[in-house]
Every structure is written in structure tokens, then in C-alpha cells.
Amino acid sequence: MIAAKDIRVRFMNELLGDIRENCQILPVGRRIKQLPTEELKALKARKYLDALCVYFWALTPVLVAILTFATFVLMGGTLTSAKVFTCMALFNVLISPLYAFRWVIGGLVEAWVSLKRVRKLIQLPNMLSVFVCVCV
């Protein structure tokens, strides 16, 4: 999605630069309409993946509880209300980190993209002299 947005922003900057230079609008209407659709496709795919992740994260505590209790009973244990309530309390404590994990992964991906962009900016030939002047 970020790549599609970058392409759209770069194209719009080029278009505005051409308009400033030539004082006319170039015949690019079809391409302008196409750029947001590619970005929307990426956004749609991301939102479907988001919904799927939310579904599985909401389902996971229930599945873990069922599998844990089934395994305990199949191994010959006897379920009591004290054991069930204690296990459910522990499972509920574990839900919060599980929900936060999704946001951590998203933050790491955004940080990685930002680092790559900063690295690319710093590696530009003229940027080294700018950084040296600013730091001194």
C-alpha cells in the first residue's frame, strides 16, 4: 500500500511540475484515475487481512481453553470449578498481549519502511555535505 501511495504522490508531483512549466494540463486523466484504484486494491487486501487477524485473535482464547480442558480430561484429570475458573482467569490475562501483538507487528513494519527511506535519503550524494554542515 505504501508503494502504491508513493507512486501516486510521485506522479502527482511530476504532473504539477509539468503544469507549472508548460501552463497546460497534459492528457493524463486515465492514468490519474488508475493510480487511486491500485492503492485501494492494496488497502482492501490489507483490511481483509486485518479482519481475518481480528477473527483469529478473538477465536484463539476460546480454542486454547477448549483444547486445554479437553487435553486435561483426556489425560485422566477431573475438572472442577476451581480449576476451570483459575484457568479462565489466566487465559484472560494472556489475551491483552495477544491483542497488542498485532499493533507491534504493524509498528515494526512501518519503522522498517521509514528506516529504509531515511537510509536512501542519507545515501544521496548531496546529503552528506548537508549533514556535515548541520552537525558542525
Runs of H (alpha helix) within 23-80? 29-74
For the stretch 8-62, pLDDT in tens is 777 777 777 766 666 555 555 666 666 667 777 878 888 888 888 778 877 887 8
The distance between the two most distant Cα atoms of the chain, rounded to a whole number of Å, is 83
CA distance 18 to 21: 5
Nine-digit cell at 74? 483426556
Q: With 80 as the cut, is the pLDDT of residue 136 above it? A: no
Question: In Å, how far from its chain's centre is CA 130?
Answer: 33
Cα radius of gyration (the chain): 26
Helix/strand/coil for 24: coil
Q: Which of 13-17, 21-25, 64-68, 95-99 reaches the highest mean pLDDT? A: 64-68
